[in-house]
């Protein structure tokens, strides 16, 4: 093979390899451009998605703020309404009037939004709305006051159905006289039931409705105090229902039970099962017991704090009770005799839980008793006050 041929072959192979290299380089550049385009497009998509997400998050945050603001306004409105004061009642009447007159606003807006706006007529409707709103607010305010008065003084119900009945109120010099003559049985049964049933039937039905009906926390607490007091009385203790007499001023002494030289200062708590008795309640009872003990000059009595409840104590409260020697009695509220049968001289009168003298009436004297039913009370010679007889 000649030198010229070898050179020719080398040059050819070199040219071939250069061609391959240039072709590969072109392909690499093309692929690189594609990857750069893809990366740019991906970044653009990411940017678009991020902007969209940020926008959605911003919308959600704004909606959340509006919801929280609305809830806060609702809570504020609820608290104002629940307080039942002059301001809250006026707010209720204003809201009611605005709701009732919504059609006025819609009509005025429609008139202004017409191709040829009727501004004069829209103004007349707005003025009419203001006048009507004032009348509605006055009317609703009067109704609220009227219904609230009837709720506080149910004895007025017998006198408000017509003008002639209202005139009968002139016979009374004050509300106390009127209240004394009102039979609170009427709060728990219908007028038809009151007029059609005999005394035993209607009084028993009212008592049954009271027992089965919804009660306030105060009524539940009072029932539990009476239930706990009867528990002690059945064991031969003389019980003073201090909480019923003093109410908020009982200083944590719901019951004071005496037997010989023993005196038990008892606090009663009947609460929801989800709650716990905490150490502050134990400390209050311990303190009020020993304050009473110190104030007494009689050295021959032993004072003991007793806590009666239907729920559990916290771990700390249990430790405090053990350390301070506070006796704990767990007891659920069950059905018990609620009718107080009182002897006052020659008079034997029974009191139902909703009667005026119920809380201040003590059952300690000979011949007195608690009755489960009206019939039982009457069979033992007890009657309700004469003014309540049908």
Q: What residue segments make up the domains of the chain, in order of their start?
A: 1-83, 86-151, 183-214+337-390, 217-330
Q: How far, in Å, CA of 25 to CA of 278, rounded?
A: 83
Judged on CB neighbours under 10 Å (0-12, 13-18, 19+), 189 is buried
| 294, pLDDT greater than 60 | yes
| 307, pLDDT greater than 90 | yes
Pairwise pLDDT comparison (83 vs 302), residue with the higher score: 302
Pairwise pLDDT comparison (241 vs 38), residue with the higher score: 241
| 347, pLDDT greater than 60 | yes
The tokens for 246 are 């003093």
What does the buried/exposed string (b/e) look like for 227-252 if buried means 16 or more CB atoms within 10 Å of the residue's CB?
A: bbbbbbeeeebebebbbbeeeeebbb
88-123 pLDDT, tens per residue? Answer: 666 667 776 776 777 777 787 787 777 788 888 888
Range name among 60-64, 86-90, 108-112, 260-264 with the lowest pLDDT average: 86-90
The CATH number of the domain covering residues in 217-330:
3.40.1350.10
Distances 88 to 85, 92, 133, 147, 387 between C-alpha atoms, Å? 5, 6, 17, 15, 39
| 36, pLDDT greater than 80 | no
Confidence band of 69 (pLDDT split at 50, 70, 90): confident
Pairwise pLDDT comparison (346 vs 329), residue with the higher score: 329
What pLDDT, on the 0 to 100 scale, is given for residue 390?
A: 47
What pLDDT, on the 0 to 100 scale, is given for residue 325?
A: 94
The tokens for 345 are 């001289």
What pLDDT, on the 0 to 100 scale, is given for residue 154?
A: 62
Starting at the earlier edge strand, list the strands of the sheet with 369-371. 347-351, 339-344, 369-371
Contact (Cβ atoms closer than 8 angstroms) between residue 339 and residue 373: yes
Q: How far, in Å, CA of 269 to CA of 193, rounded?
A: 36
Helix or strand (DSSP H, E) at 350: strand 347-351
Instruction: Give me the half-sphere count of Cα atoms (radius 13 Å) on the Cβ side of residue 8.
Output: 5
The average pLDDT across 144-151 equals 72
Pairwise pLDDT comparison (42 vs 126), residue with the higher score: 126
What pLDDT, on the 0 to 100 scale, is given for residue 334?
A: 93
pLDDT cut 70: percent of the chain above it: 74
pLDDT cut 90: percent of the chain above it: 32
What pLDDT, on the 0 to 100 scale, is given for residue 107?
A: 80
Confidence band of 315 (pLDDT split at 50, 70, 90): very high
Q: Give residues with Cβ within 8 angstroms of 265, minimum separation 6.
A: 253, 255, 256, 285, 288, 289, 292, 303, 304, 305, 306
Range name among 22-36, 179-193, 301-315 with the lowest pLDDT average: 22-36
Three-state SS at 117: coil
| 331, pLDDT greater than 80 | yes
The average pLDDT across 294-303 equals 71
Q: How far, in Å, CA of 144 to CA of 96, rounded?
A: 12
Confidence band of 330 (pLDDT split at 50, 70, 90): very high
Contact (Cβ atoms closer than 8 angstroms) between residue 253 and residue 242: yes
| 21, pLDDT greater than 70 | no
Instruction: Indicate the DSSP class of residue 359.
Output: T
What pLDDT, on the 0 to 100 scale, is given for residue 242?
A: 82
- For the four alpha carbons of 359, 365, 367 and 371, in that order, the dihedral sign comes to positive
Pairwise pLDDT comparison (257 vs 37), residue with the higher score: 257
Q: Is 84 left (phi over 0), alpha (psi -120 to 50) or beta?
A: left
- For the four alpha carbons of 195, 390, 173 and 245, in that order, the dihedral sign comes to negative
Q: How far, in Å, CA of 58 to CA of 68, rounded?
A: 15
Three-state SS at 382: coil
| 78, pLDDT greater than 70 | no
The pTM (predicted TM-score) of the whole model is 0.58
Distances 259 to 70, 293, 298, 303, 305 between C-alpha atoms, Å? 59, 16, 15, 11, 14
Q: Give residues with Cβ within 8 angstroms of 209, minimum separation 6.
A: 188, 189
């Amino acid at each position: 093979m000649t030198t010229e041929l070898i050179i020719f072959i080398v040059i050819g192979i070199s040219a071939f390899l250069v061609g391959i290299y240039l072709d590969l380089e072109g392909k690499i550049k093309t692929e690189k451009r594609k990857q750069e385009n893809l990366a740019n497009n991906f970044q653009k998509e990411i940017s678009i998605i991020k902007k969209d997400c940020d926008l959605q998050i911003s919308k959600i945050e704004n909606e959340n703020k509006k919801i929280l603001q609305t809830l806060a306004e609702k809570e504020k409105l609820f608290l104002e309404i629940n307080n039942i004061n002059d301001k809250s009642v006026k707010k209720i009447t204003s809201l009611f009037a605005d709701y009732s007159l919504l059609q006025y606003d819609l009509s005025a807006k429609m008139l202004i939004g017409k191709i040829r706006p009727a501004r004069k007529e829209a103004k007349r409707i707005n003025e009419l709305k203001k006048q009507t709103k004032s009348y509605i607010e006055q009317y609703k305010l009067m109704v609220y006051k009227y219904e609230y008065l009837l709720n506080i003084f149910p004895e007025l119900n017998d006198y408000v159905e017509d003008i002639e009945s209202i005139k009968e109120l002139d016979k009374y010099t004050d509300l106390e006289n009127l209240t004394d003559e009102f039979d609170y049985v009427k709060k728990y049964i219908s007028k038809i039931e009151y007029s059609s049933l005999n005394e035993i039937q209607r009084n028993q039905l009212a008592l049954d409705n009271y027992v089965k009906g919804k009660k306030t926390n105060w009524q539940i607490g009072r029932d539990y105090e009476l239930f706990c007091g009867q528990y002690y009385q059945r064991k031969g203790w003389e019980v003073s229902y201090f909480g019923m007499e003093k109410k908020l001023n009982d200083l944590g002494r719901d019951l004071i039970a005496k037997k010989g030289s023993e005196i038990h200062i008892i606090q009663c708590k009947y609460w929801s099962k989800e709650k716990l008795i905490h150490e502050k309640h134990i400390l209050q009872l311990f303190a009020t017991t020993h304050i009473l003990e110190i104030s007494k000059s009689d050295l021959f009595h032993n004072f003991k704090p007793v806590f009666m409840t239907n729920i559990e104590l916290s771990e700390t409260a249990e430790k405090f009770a053990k350390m301070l020697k506070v006796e704990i009695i767990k007891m659920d509220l069950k059905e018990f005799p609620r009718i107080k049968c009182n002897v006052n001289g020659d008079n034997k009168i029974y009191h139902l839980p909703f009667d005026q003298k119920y809380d201040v009436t003590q059952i300690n004297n000979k011949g007195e008793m608690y009755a489960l039913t009206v019939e039982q009370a009457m069979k033992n010679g007890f009657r309700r006050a004469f003014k309540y007889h049908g």
